[in-house]
A and B are shown apart, each in its own frame.
Chain A
């Protein structure tokens, strides 16, 4: 019996706004899946949608399908799982889920009763999760957070549903507890259950060996399994150096200072910079482009000092490092049309048409103001605007976030040609390892208060 769970363009919305979207994802019983992502990104909402336990303000569109060999069972129009599919979920706030008037033993006995299990099943489950038997008859009000979580996990083992959902199952658990959760989940997967876990705990997620997903900008995407150290570092300088930084560091948020490993971008290179939000990626762009002062070190462009601790580029020099900002709506004058914005800083009309081609901007969009464009279109207008100004180095700050994968791949191909054709360099800032993996792009990574160039591979 091979079970799998399929998400088919599932969108969970609350009050009309999309909370989390899943395009096409299949979760195999043998692997299970772990969803991570920053808090508030919609992990719990996704689990609740799966369990059919969303609040009234939320609704689900698209299809949730359980595939069993050739048979498909769908969640109904109201988002409820079909009766043949038993789902169970351990909520994040474990203590609140237990009735404080009852003991753990009574709670588990109730669960066993509901699902027609024997007291032996309960005993085995309690042993499996590592819950101390001495605490079985204590009121659940006196259990610690970790103990309460283990009671719930035991209940899940007893109930043994088809789809197991666990929300932050390792919060409050120590290393050994974490290992037991992994064991329990392994056993469940071995017996053909579908396990879906939402967690912040990277260590735990790593141990489960499940398919890993992350919610980025409200979309569930596959997370790259490769660790930063394993990803290929930026190529060593072979070719004409375009831009290089040495001893470079910059301040973010006043007190924090980010040190950047020395690196050189050579002509024609496309290099990524990956890190979670808040790691200082955009601030790095600002410091590199000379918008904000560097705390130390220097940036050399074409062998000449461009920006540094005591030096910020002014006037037309600034266009040589073009920073395509993350928030395109804010970065474009709301009064001007796309045509004006693209040609405003252009070197020539030829540069404009070349930039429009690179950014795939059709003539029909050019008469619109930024407010009348979609997010992706706006971002392409900003890209064209900066390309037309003739930069030597292009900093793309999460530029592809609102752009569909096909176009993204096409644009990247053209940008590569653009960089190679004019001895230029592109730095692609993103939090998406997967995209860089797919395109085989070497990358810098953020690590705490550093930006690592990683050790040269060759």
Chain B
């Protein structure tokens, strides 16, 4: 189990740094004027924020020494990125000294090297697909994209779910029946149907995709939050807080939410894995949020008929899912423990 989790963390870490590991841009270049580091110029704001978020997540899950190492690493990378690009001279007669471990972006096609099996080329570690794209690069970037979408879905669903649950608990009872009916309806409709409908209306893209997946997850989170909040409203310490004349918003934010959201966080732990699975399934069916950006589902679909890399990719994805599930369960347990109080 520990090995599995380590493997998952490694893959997740690699995928968080995918834009810099799987890129044709060289890391270190020597030219007449000296050295330069083109790698620090790579990546847009989204890439960098994902990198920071992954670093923060790793720091949170790790023990103290590993935590310091991760924070330092992320900090140094960001520092270099900030100063590295400005001191970058124009590459004249440059010579590549260190290239990226996977010198492909997984998007560019190379029709001279299609369907390469695993182990033939030292550069294509996992071979190439039918259009000559590097499978290893696509795997790293796919894990990264799918994980990012899953986390985004979970964050949106948990945030909105908690707010809806609290509104239900605080609001007039009249609201409950219609909300309940709505929630039941939402849960009853298959995600694929909703997504198909939304795609025809709103088109593809990441926003409708995340919105649909998150909406489907809101009812469960809202319901558990509602139940906890209703119990809490009767708890003496909550009544005492109201009795102190504190503003209702303050009591909700500082007293009720920390206690009521435990169950929602526990659901979120499972939710991430569920969201990855949902995202993969939809991607496999060609209903993913992008047809060009690599994602897990699309990757499975593309590699399943490749002679050697297909099985390997599926296996690696399984490891990633299990590992993320395990890490998520661990994090949830830890936050549940943090909420415990001594008698």
Chain A residues in the interface with B (C-beta under 8 A): 289, 291, 315-320, 322-323, 325, 327, 330-335, 344-345, 369-372, 382, 385-386, 389
Q: Is the CB of A322 within 8 A of B236?
A: no
Shortest CB-to-CB span from B260 to chain A, Å, is: 12
Write out the residue numbers on chain B whose beta carbons fall within 8 Å of the beta carbon of A325.
236, 240
Interface size on B, residues (CB 8 A): 21
Given A323-B243, A335-B341, A344-B246, 19 other A-B residues pairs in contact with their CB atoms under 8 A? A289-B243, A315-B247, A316-B245, A316-B246, A317-B245, A318-B244, A318-B245, A319-B243, A322-B243, A322-B244, A325-B236, A330-B235, A332-B237, A334-B341, A344-B241, A345-B244, A370-B341, A371-B343, A382-B240
Q: Is the CB of B239 within 8 A of A334?
A: no
CA–CA, A323 and B235, complex, Å: 16
The residue that A345 contacts in the complex, of B236, B237, B246, B248, with Cβ under 8 A, is B246
B254 at interface, CB cutoff 8 A? yes
Q: Is the CB of A372 within 8 A of B235?
A: no
B65 at interface, CB cutoff 8 A? no
In the complex with contacts A335-B258, A369-B341, A371-B343, A389-B245 CB distance below 8 A: yes
CA–CA, A333 and B237, complex, Å: 6
Shortest CB-to-CB span from A399 to chain B, Å, is: 13
CA–CA, A344 and B243, complex, Å: 13
Q: Is the CB of A319 within 8 A of B259?
A: no
The residue that B244 contacts in the complex, of A327, A335, A370, A385, with Cβ under 8 A, is A385
Contacts between chains A and B (CB distance < 8 A), count: 63
Q: Is the CB of B342 within 8 A of A389?
A: no
Chain B residues in the interface with A (C-beta under 8 A): 235-237, 239-248, 254-255, 258-259, 339, 341-343
Q: Is the CB of B341 within 8 A of A331?
A: no
Shortest CB-to-CB span from B256 to chain A, Å, is: 10
CA–CA, A334 and B340, complex, Å: 9
Shortest CB-to-CB span from A384 to chain B, Å, is: 12
Write out the residue numbers on chain B whose beta carbons fall within 8 Å of the beta carbon of A319.
243-245
Q: Is the CB of A335 within 8 A of B240?
A: no
A-B complex: 7 closest residue pairs judged by Cβ atoms? A319-B245, A334-B341, A330-B236, A371-B342, A316-B245, A345-B244, A318-B245
Q: Please, which residue of chain A has its CB at the minimum distance from the CB of B343?
A: A371
Shortest CB-to-CB span from A96 to chain B, Å, is: 39
Write out the residue numbers on chain A whose beta carbons fall within 8 Å of the beta carbon of B339.
335
Chain A CB count within 10 A is highest, among B245, B259, B339, for B245
Q: Please, which residue of chain A has its CB at the minimum distance from the CB of B341?
A: A334
CA–CA, A320 and B243, complex, Å: 9
Q: Is the CB of A318 within 8 A of B236?
A: no
CA–CA, A316 and B248, complex, Å: 10
Q: Is the CB of B236 within 8 A of A327?
A: yes
Q: Is the CB of B237 within 8 A of A334?
A: yes
CA–CA, A316 and B244, complex, Å: 7
CA–CA, A369 and B1, complex, Å: 36
Write out the residue numbers on chain A whose beta carbons fall within 8 Å of the beta carbon of B341.
334-335, 369-371
CA–CA, A289 and B240, complex, Å: 11
The residue that A344 contacts in the complex, of B254, B258, B343, with Cβ under 8 A, is B254
Shortest CB-to-CB span from A456 to chain B, Å, is: 32
**11 pairs of residues in contact across A and B, judged by CB atoms under 8 Å:** A289-B243, A315-B247, A317-B245, A318-B244, A319-B244, A327-B236, A331-B240, A335-B258, A345-B244, A389-B244, A389-B245
